Amino acid sequence: MISHEAYSCEGWCLRETDLDLDVLAQSESLFALSNGHIGWRGNLDEGAPYELPGSYLNGVYELRPLPYAEAGYGYPESGQTMISVANGKLIRLLVDDEPFDVRYGQLHSHERVLDFRAGVLSRSALWSSPAGRTVRVSSTRLVSLAQRSIAAVEYQVEAVDGPVRLVIQSELVVNEPLPPGSDDPRAAAVLESPLRSEMHANDGARAELVHRTEQSGLLVAAAMDHVVDGPDSTHVLAESFDDLGRVSMTVALEPGERLRFVKFVSYGWSAVRSRQELRDQVDAAITGALQGGWEGLLAEQRSYLDDFWARADVQVEGDAEIQQAVRFALFHVLQAGARAERRAIPAKGLTGTGYGGHAFWDTETFVLPVLTYTVPAAAAYALDWRHSTLQPALDRAAQLGMKGAAFPWRTITGAECSSYWPAGTAAFHVGADIADAVVRYLNATGDTDFEQKIGLELLAQTARFWRSLGHHDAQGRFNIDGVTGPDEYSAVADNNVYTNLMAQHNLRSAAAVAKRNPDRARELGIDGEEMAAWCDAARDMRIPYDDELGIHPQAEAFTAHREWDFEGTVPAEYPLLLHFPYFDLYRKQVVKQADLVLAMHLRGEAFSAEQKAANFRYYERLTVRDSSLSACTQAVMAAEVGQLGLAYDYLAEAALMDLENLEHNTRDGVHIASLAGTWIALVAGLGGMRELDGSLSFAPRLPEGVTRLCFRVLFRGRCLQVETTEASTSYSLLEGDALQIFHFGDPVTATTTATSCPTPPPRLLPGESKRPTQPAGREPTLRSGRRRTSARKETP
Ligand code: BGC
């Protein structure tokens, strides 16, 4: 996509200079704006043509039955699907009675720019109607990061070469028709007209609508108001209907004359508040936004982002596309989490309906590491959301006959929505992933308030779950049988190494945090005996090892399985899940996504350098990367075992996942975890950053072609800058007291004065210099040949 000629490579924006309807669906996702509460897909202002219209509110969903061919005990019975709420982006324009529609007349020029620093999507078009009337249209759209319930559009039309009569219909549309669903399990179920009108009203240039979802019973409100600036003859009329709010503006323009207006839109929803309360809420939000006006919204947006980039920017020199991609990625990760505030961060953020708008372990394992070190408050909110879903997780564990909490594989509200239990219910590692994110957040921030109110309870209830799921065998080893690890091409296996290592960390951390918070531990019913039981289980955790092959099997018996016939599988048969039955995938050695390799990243201290190298090589041969969650982890471990070229290739794959539509489903929304993985591949991969027991270490090395990497991380009240060139790395604190860190294992004291440390010569283990191989046809694209060293042009 980025290699599409309509897209240019620039440091701080994504620019499209031609409208190619073949890539419209992807562009709607790429240009989506969100603040984590509201999500507006990048649809054209006039609404058509479109591929997938979408306006979302985090947490607004409808229920749908989950049908089973054969029922079974404990199967989730009801699913949740994120639905589109009122489309407040819509601005229809009629030029002398002809709708502005790029499929008709002539589009002389078109440009859209997503500006990562200003936080706006701007568009300009020069268009002649079929009757030959020419207008210049420009719009700037934002979803406010500062005012959570507000989105706005500034819209201008100018008559170019003759007088025109304009009618503009600025709308709020509910229950827009959606394109039919697809068979791809990663797409969403389509629900027709999920919202029922409760009230509508209009006044002046304002209209508002309140609706209710039929089954989930949520009230959803939207309001819009306009500030119009046009010739005196401009006439404004507001109307409202069940599913439509409309403000029409009519005006006659002479050449060079313009109509400009700002549309303010506010959204709110509630499962509890009344219709009047909700209407007042959206009215109040609009009034607040009108007070500061458009300029105020722009200024707040810029200042929010200035602050973000000052802490979070990653500079990459030598590869202009990766530079652009990492900022694009960070922008979307921020958008997904910034104002989610005790709501989930879905796998696609609020950029599309992929996976039904569900959140998965993606959040804790891929997104929260980025937010923890750049916007820690957003990470705390996301974990607070998990905490708010503890009751359904306790209920689910009880239903499964277990103690503690069984967090769902996929969900919006906290209830399990996966009807496919082998890769849903059985993927119990999600509990340990949540615990890992809690520990990471605590170690990075030292937030004792969070530890007491939220952290300990999450750790304890997940530890309880592991203690009841696993068992000590006759040899005293603690086994966790019948689980599915991250690799969804293996299921219901015994002692999955990733799961066991993460559970071990979970159990130990729960005991340690309970010990330092005795009062809170008592409140949660944790006693000395229970803590001892957690520690015993952690100590005795079974970690299978294949002595003959000298590697860790992903799970018990994995290495005894037959290998997948990679040679006999053609490129069109990937992803395998769409072309082969699961029963066959399950009984062969084939890996969908990093599993054992992810364990080596997140629990690196549990492996020797030799084991890491041997394991990495072994699993490279088997990993097909049918999930976008894999490349970044492979980048991290490739870098650690000294395969820098390969690390670079995987970094590029994670970074370009959406910009190049590598999984062919960017239309359903961007892959937030893979975007977050861009940061992970750069910071944990090339930068070698690890955090263990509250201390940070780095091992930065650059692949050939990347000449400089500079990033910042927030840690314990400090902002640490790490700047690497081929020969050395300099560490400095932008703020805060001296901090001890490690550079290739040696202690370094970082202060506000930069300390430069030389890069030691690479040390490849004997026999490890050869690049590991991947399944035929699944090799990552070589970055070296494709790299663009400088940006085509820079924005001022
Ligand atoms: C992956 C899961 C992931 C989900 C949502 C699946 O394809 O295998 O690990 O959680 O997508 O991103």
Whole-number Cα distances in Å, 308 to 118, 301, 302, 676, 734? 11, 11, 10, 15, 14
- Residue 769's pLDDT is 86
Q: Which amino acid is at 669?
A: G
> Cβ distance 484 to 427 under 8 Å?
yes
CA 365–ligand 1 middle distance (angstroms)? 11
CA 705–ligand 1 middle distance (angstroms)? 32
Give the separation between CA 739 and CA 473, rounded to whole angstroms.
44
Q: How many percent of the chain have pLDDT more than 90?
A: 92
Give the separation between CA 361 and CA 502, rounded to whole angstroms.
13
Instruction: Find the Cα–Cα–Cα–Cα dihedral 323, 326, 328, 334, rounded to 10°.
Output: -140
- Which atom of ligand 1 is the closest one to the Cα of 427? 9
Give tens-digit pLDDT for 10-26: 999 999 999 999 999 99
**Residues recorded for the chain:** 796
Give the separation between CA 325 and CA 304, rounded to whole angstroms.
20
CB of 488 closer than 6 angstroms to any ligand 1 atom: yes
Whole-number Cα distances in Å, 283 to 118, 264, 265, 781? 26, 11, 10, 51
CA 593–ligand 1 middle distance (angstroms)? 9
Give tens-digit pLDDT for 494-527: 999 999 999 999 999 999 999 999 999 999 999 9
Give tens-digit pLDDT for 479-490: 999 999 999 999
- Residue 4's pLDDT is 74
* Residue ranges with strand state E in 539-698: 562-563, 588-589, 690-692, 695-698
- Closest residue by Cα to atom 11, ligand 1, is 627
CA 671–ligand 1 middle distance (angstroms)? 10
Whether the per-residue pLDDT at 794 is higher than 90: the answer is no
**At residue 204, what are phi and psi to the nearest 5 degrees?**
60, -120
Cβ neighbours of residue 284 closer than 8 Å, sequence gap 6 or more: none
Structure tokens that stand for 294 in this block:
């458009």
> Which pLDDT band, with edges at 50, 70 and 90, does 188 fall under?
low
Q: Among 186, 407, 418, 488, which is best to mutate for testing ligand 1, by the most ligand atoms less than 8 A from CB? A: 488
Bridge-based pairing state of the strands 471-472 and 206-213: unpaired
CB of 666 closer than 6 angstroms to any ligand 1 atom: no
> Cβ distance 662 to 626 under 8 Å?
no
- Which atom of ligand 1 is the closest one to the Cα of 487? 8
- Which atom of ligand 1 is the closest one to the Cα of 593? 8
**At residue 463, what are phi and psi to the nearest 5 degrees?**
-65, -40
Model-level pTM greater than 0.95? Answer: yes
- Closest residue by Cα to atom 12, ligand 1, is 347
Give the separation between CA 79 and CA 772, rounded to whole angstroms.
42
Whether the per-residue pLDDT at 575 is higher than 60: the answer is yes
> Which pLDDT band, with edges at 50, 70 and 90, does 1 fall under?
low
Pure H helices in 389-447: 390-399, 429-445
> Which pLDDT band, with edges at 50, 70 and 90, does 795 fall under?
very low
CA 419: distance to chain centroid?
A: 23
CB of 416 closer than 6 angstroms to any ligand 1 atom: no
Q: Among 82, 186, 355, 360, which is best to mutate for testing ligand 1, by the most ligand atoms less than 8 A from CB? A: 360
CB of 10 closer than 6 angstroms to any ligand 1 atom: no
CA 629–ligand 1 middle distance (angstroms)? 7
> Which pLDDT band, with edges at 50, 70 and 90, does 787 fall under?
confident
Whether the per-residue pLDDT at 796 is higher than 50: the answer is no
Cβ neighbours of residue 497 closer than 8 Å, sequence gap 6 or more: 485, 543, 544, 552, 553, 554, 555, 595, 596, 599
Give the separation between CA 582 and CA 594, rounded to whole angstroms.
18
Give tens-digit pLDDT for 466-479: 999 999 999 999 99
- Closest residue by Cα to atom 1, ligand 1, is 627
Q: Which amino acid is at 41?
A: R
Structure tokens that stand for 775 in this block:
């399944």
CA 626–ligand 1 middle distance (angstroms)? 9
Catalytic residue positions?
Answer: 488
CB of 363 closer than 6 angstroms to any ligand 1 atom: no
Average pLDDT value over all residues in the chain:
96
Tell me the sheet residues that pair with 91. Answer: 170
CA 362–ligand 1 middle distance (angstroms)? 7
- Which atom of ligand 1 is the closest one to the Cα of 592? 8
Q: Which amino acid is at 200?
A: H
- Residue 792's pLDDT is 63
Structure tokens that stand for 734 in this block:
């932008």
CB of 362 closer than 6 angstroms to any ligand 1 atom: yes
CB of 425 closer than 6 angstroms to any ligand 1 atom: no
Give the separation between CA 484 and CA 473, rounded to whole angstroms.
20
- Closest residue by Cα to atom 4, ligand 1, is 360
- Which atom of ligand 1 is the closest one to the Cα of 410? 10
Tell me the sheet residues that pair with 155. Answer: 139, 261
CA 218–ligand 1 middle distance (angstroms)? 28
Structure tokens that stand for 725 in this block:
């060139």
- Which atom of ligand 1 is the closest one to the Cα of 488? 8
Structure tokens that stand for 484 in this block:
């599915």
CB of 600 closer than 6 angstroms to any ligand 1 atom: no
CA 23–ligand 1 middle distance (angstroms)? 24
Whether the per-residue pLDDT at 534 is higher than 90: the answer is yes
CB of 593 closer than 6 angstroms to any ligand 1 atom: yes
CB of 409 closer than 6 angstroms to any ligand 1 atom: no
CB of 595 closer than 6 angstroms to any ligand 1 atom: no
- Closest residue by Cα to atom 8, ligand 1, is 627
Give tens-digit pLDDT for 120-161: 999 999 999 999 999 999 999 999 999 999 999 999 999 999
> Which pLDDT band, with edges at 50, 70 and 90, does 185 fall under?
confident
Smallest CA-to-CA distance from 444 within 676, 696, 687, 731 is with 696
- Residue 211's pLDDT is 98
> Cβ distance 142 to 56 under 8 Å?
no
- Which atom of ligand 1 is the closest one to the Cα of 355? 5
CB of 360 closer than 6 angstroms to any ligand 1 atom: yes
Q: Among 361, 627, 665, which is best to mutate for testing ligand 1, by the most ligand atoms less than 8 A from CB? A: 627
- Residue 3's pLDDT is 67
- Closest residue by Cα to atom 7, ligand 1, is 627
Give tens-digit pLDDT for 692-738: 999 999 999 999 999 999 999 999 999 999 999 999 999 999 988 99
Give the separation between CA 497 and CA 500, rounded to whole angstroms.
5
Give tens-digit pLDDT for 735-773: 889 999 999 999 999 999 999 999 999 877 777 889 999
Give the separation between CA 24 and CA 117, rounded to whole angstroms.
24
What is the SS3 assignment for 597?
helix
CA 156–ligand 1 middle distance (angstroms)? 42
- In 10 A of CB 402, how many CB atoms? 18
Smallest CA-to-CA distance from 490 within 618, 569, 585, 574 is with 585
CB of 353 closer than 6 angstroms to any ligand 1 atom: no
CA 172–ligand 1 middle distance (angstroms)? 34
Structure tokens that stand for 514 in this block:
């309970």
Cα maximum dimension of the chain: 90
Structure tokens that stand for 636 in this block:
């991290």
CA 364–ligand 1 middle distance (angstroms)? 13
- In 10 A of CB 36, how many CB atoms? 26
> Cβ distance 245 to 209 under 8 Å?
yes
Tell me the sheet residues that pair with 121. Answer: 114, 141
* Count helices and strands in the chain by DSSP H and E runs: 19, 33
CB of 420 closer than 6 angstroms to any ligand 1 atom: no
- Which atom of ligand 1 is the closest one to the Cα of 486? 9
Whole-number Cα distances in Å, 431 to 65, 273, 438, 486? 26, 32, 11, 12
Smallest CA-to-CA distance from 382 within 452, 423, 334 is with 334
Give the separation between CA 357 and CA 355, rounded to whole angstroms.
5
Distance between first and last Cα of the chain: 24
Give tens-digit pLDDT for 75-109: 988 899 999 999 999 999 999 999 999 999 999 99
Give tens-digit pLDDT for 204-258: 999 999 999 999 999 999 999 999 999 999 999 999 999 999 999 999 999 999 9
Contacts 24+ apart (CB under 8 A), 521-525: 521/456, 521/460, 524/456, 524/457, 524/460
CA 627–ligand 1 middle distance (angstroms)? 6
> Which pLDDT band, with edges at 50, 70 and 90, does 2 fall under?
low
Half-sphere exposure of 406 (CA within 13 A, CB side): 22
- Which atom of ligand 1 is the closest one to the Cα of 361? 10
What is the SS3 assignment for 212?
strand
- Which atom of ligand 1 is the closest one to the Cα of 673? 12
CB of 411 closer than 6 angstroms to any ligand 1 atom: no
- Residue 638's pLDDT is 98
- Closest residue by Cα to atom 6, ligand 1, is 627
Tell me the sheet residues that pair with 40. Answer: 33, 55
